[in-house]
Structure 1
Amino acid sequence: MDNVSRVTSFVLSGLNVTVNYRVALFSLTLLCYCFVVLVNVVLIVTIILDKTMHEPMYILLCTFCMNGLYGTTGFYPKILCDLLSSVHVISYSGCLVQALVMSSYVYSDLSILAVMAYDRYVAICRPLVYHSIMSKQRVLLLVCFSLLTSFCISAINIILISRLKLCSPYIARLYCINWIIVKLACFTADTIVNNIVAYITIIIYMLHGFFIVWSYVYVIKTCVNSLENRAKFMQTCVPHLTSLIIFLVTILFDVFNVRFGSNLPPTIQNVIAIELLIIPPMMNPLVYGFKLTKIRNRILVGVTCTIKR
């Protein structure tokens, strides 16, 4: 154990295959990041400025978009710097911070989706008590609890990772993530606690998934026999379900990439690794912006007024 040297920085070796296309990839990545920021900020500002949207569903949507900006900010600035540099290095503390941001972003997304599912369940299955159950204060409390819980769970995992002695500074990925750092540990016996906490974390967020499924099962059952509820479902629940499907598909692709993607070309592995930071943050504001009439009309009015000026 005394022969183990302390790792002070990591090499992000996943970017080595893209050196020959650095300028093109930098331009494409910058364009993608700017678009993600634009669509999310437009939606957030629209909801904040329009007081008629200060309702539970829109507050949750605003939080959802803010979390998307939080997650992408933990990735894009660093990858843009790496694309302009011939050395792709990140400090030890910087890697832990990035892993904290990435994991808390994913956990928060699922937690917010769970609260959204509960909101739609109450709105459609128990409409008479909706405003008493889903008051602004309770929604804000649920949002704060979801975000703080996700951050605390991520922080616990990172603190446990920070005690490990690492034998390699090479991360075969474009960014730092919990499980990759744990795999660099010199002694598997040291990772037992990390693995236990990781399994507990997985169980917690699997329960979130089961809760979301349970909520929408009841919503669909309620909507089957009511034309009014079917219309409400198509208007407000379809965007939520679309976001949930996008989130689950990108997560499953990443899981399969980790488990079975070792034989794939490095470029394909990189694309799958970053899709969680491209597709959901980009698609969610577009899905809600096009589907929710109030948001769509408010954005169109704003664009029209801007053009007339």
Structure 2
Amino acid sequence: MNQTVLHSTVFFTAYGPPGPLNYAAFFLTFLLFFITIFSNISLMLVIYLESHLHKPMYIFLFNLAVNGLIGCLSVCPKIMDNLVNDIKDISHKGCLLQVFFSSVYATCAYVILAVMAYDRYVSICKPLQYHSIMTPSKVKMLVALVYFIPITMLAFQIFITSRLPVCSHNINKLFCDNLAVVKLSCVESALSNLYGICVIASLVVLPFVLVVLSYIKILLVCLKVSKESRTKAFNTCTPHLITFINFSTAILFSVIYNRHSTVSKEVNVLISVQFILFPPLVHPIIYGIRTKEIRTCITKIIRTKIFPNSLDFPHLKSERKLVPIMTLDGTAAGQGLPV
């Protein structure tokens, strides 16, 4: 029985024993996790409740927020659990599920950002044809592909990884990733390595190139238009561009981290948290600050749905005074007008 349990369990060696540092990391992770969940759900509610935000750009943004929740929920609860418990482990099947959902988060985010870049390209470079190109049916198709392609490719990758024989049970990280699980195997798998390269090329490199090409074309168009049109285009693209750079930076750090896993516990915590929490935490904040329509809708929802009466603060208003209306002979004629 113990032998069976051992062979179905993976142990994390990057946490160290429970102590002040682990509790501090738990508090920081929990705080970021809570803010991330709250900000993404808030953004989703704003887009859902406001009908005039039911446009392609905001529909894709809604799905980016959904994807951020997938990333947070797939990893952070287990990280927090391991930070305060003596035994830092996960079942082998649970580890594979963690790999699957964290990989879905990473790849779907890139595909969504590529689709959003395409939407911005059509909006700026082909404004007169925008509504004929970005039709509701096409938007639905793009959203379906955003999830269908990565999930299908990653499901097959997890299947290949799950078939590898396991000879080791220790991972020097805070959570499971595909490369770490493959390294637990007794044998080298050429199929796993080759397919992993195909996944990265299709779901990371290709979307990255498409985003870059979209912005090159947008930049070329902006150089030919008036200053006012150029400013409007830059304001429209800035939130997406910041989001893209932020996520690409997180992916870059994650790749470096995966290739050099012999790092200190503090670096382990920092890299794990920034990859899973920082992009989905920053994305709704960026769009909430930089996008006027979302700011306006948030203010409207707060004023009309959350605090419909209290924002008037009647107790702070000064009492209205009545100015008597004077007749031509100088006598008062009634109570007068309020001021």
- Length-normalised TM-score, structure 1: 0.93
> 2:162 aligned with 1:159, yes or no?
no
| Secondary structure in structure 2 of the residue aligned to 1:16 | coil
2:179 and 2:258 in contact (8 A); partners too: no
**Equivalenced residues, count:** 303
For residues 11-36 of structure 1, the C-alpha deviation after alignment (integer angstroms, 9 at most, x for no partner) is 11121266443333322222111100
Pick from 185, 190, 193 the counterpart of residue 192 of structure 1.
190
Which residue of structure 2 lines up, in the alignment, with residue 290 of structure 1?
A: 289
2:16 and 2:265 in contact (8 A); partners too: no
Which has the larger Rg?
A: 2
Specify which structure has the bigger relative contact order, considering alpha-carbon pairs within 8 angstroms and separated by 6 or more residues: 1
Q: CA distance change for structure 1 residues 180 and 232 in 2, over 3 Å: closer, same or farther?
A: same
**Large movers: runs of 4+ above 3 Å:** 17-20
Q: In the aligned structure 2, how far is the partner of 1:93 from the partner of 1:29?
A: 24
1:100 Cα deviation after fit:
0.2
1:17 and 1:267 in contact (8 A); partners too: no
| Secondary structure in structure 1 of the residue aligned to 2:10 | strand
For 1:24-35, list aligned pairs within 5 A.
Answer: 24-35=24-35
For residues 79-100 of structure 1, the C-alpha deviation after alignment (integer angstroms, 9 at most, x for no partner) is 2222231111101111110100
| Percentage of pairs with the same residue | 33
As a proportion of its length, which structure holds more helix? 1
1:261 Cα deviation after fit:
5.6
For 1:1-309, list aligned pairs within 5 A.
Answer: 7-16=7-16, 19-188=19-188, 191-204=189-202, 205-226=204-225, 227-260=227-260, 262=262, 264-305=263-304, 306-307=306-307, 308-309=309-310
Q: In the aligned structure 1, how far is the partner of 2:23 from the partner of 2:197?
A: 41
For residues 138-176 of structure 1, the C-alpha deviation after alignment (integer angstroms, 9 at most, x for no partner) is 112101111111111111110000000111111111111
- Residue identity matched to 1:239: P
Q: CA distance change for structure 1 residues 141 and 53 in 2, over 3 Å: closer, same or farther?
A: same
1:9 Cα deviation after fit:
0.9
- Residue identity matched to 1:200: C
1:6 and 1:166 in contact (8 A); partners too: no
> What are the ranges of 5 or more consecutive residues in structure 1 without an aligned counterpart?
none
For residues 203-260 of structure 1, the C-alpha deviation after alignment (integer angstroms, 9 at most, x for no partner) is 2131221111111100011111223431232222111110110011111112222334
- Root mean square deviation, CA, Å: 1.8
2:115 and 2:142 in contact (8 A); partners too: yes
> What are the ranges of 5 or more consecutive residues in structure 2 without an aligned counterpart?
311-339
- Length-normalised TM-score, structure 2: 0.85
1:166 and 1:185 in contact (8 A); partners too: yes
